[in-house]
Amino acid sequence: MSRDVAEIEAELRAKGVQVTRQRLAILNVLRAATDHPRVDDILSRARQDDESISQATVYRTLGALEKVGAVLKNDFDGTGARYELADRAHHDHLIDLDTGEVIEFHSERIEELQAQIARELGYEIEWHRLELYARRSRQKP
């Protein structure tokens, strides 16, 4: 379940991260995002709340948030980093190659199969990331 910005702010302060007005604006953008925004998207949205935010501030803030595990940086399609808060349950991604849309999903069958494969090879999964790159099928589902 997603945490609110106040909870994330408290966690960041506990980890020694300074929480400024600009960082809060960026956190609010990520909290409200229904997509996986790029830096330019985050900058544009954050400037709606605080016009003083610069691109450098966004990069520095995302770097600091990523360092303490509050933000996940994804590079799905080689066109630049995309970000999401790291406060939700594990999920995987399907990337539509035609539209660039990123669809989040979770499948217990996939999770179980990955664990089984790791066991068969003598491993235990510590973490993983699954990205599917796809185009809409012309056949009806």
Q: What are the structural domains, with CATH classification, of the chain?
A: 5-85 (1.10.10.10), 92-134 (3.30.1490.190)
Which pLDDT does position 109 carry in this prediction?
A: 96
Q: Give the Cβ contact number of residue 69 at 10 Å.
A: 11
Sheet holding 102-105, edge to edge: 102-105, 92-96, 131-134
**Measured between alpha carbons, how far is 22 from 61 in angstroms, rounded to an integer?**
9
75 membership: H or E segment, kind and range: none
CA angle 42, 48, 51 (to 5 degrees): 95
- CB-CB contact of 17 with 60 (8 Å): no
**Measured between alpha carbons, how far is 48 from 22 in angstroms, rounded to an integer?**
12
Backbone angles phi, psi at 94, to 5 degrees: -115, 125
Query: Measured between alpha carbons, how far is residue 132 from residues 29, 36, 129 in Å?
Result: 26, 15, 10
Per-residue pLDDT in tens (0 to 9) along the chain, 141 residues: 456 777 878 888 888 888 889 988 999 999 899 889 999 999 999 999 899 999 999 999 999 889 888 899 998 877 789 999 887 788 999 999 998 888 999 999 999 999 999 999 999 999 898 999 999 988 766
Structure tokens at 54: 């610069």
Which pLDDT does position 70 carry in this prediction?
A: 86
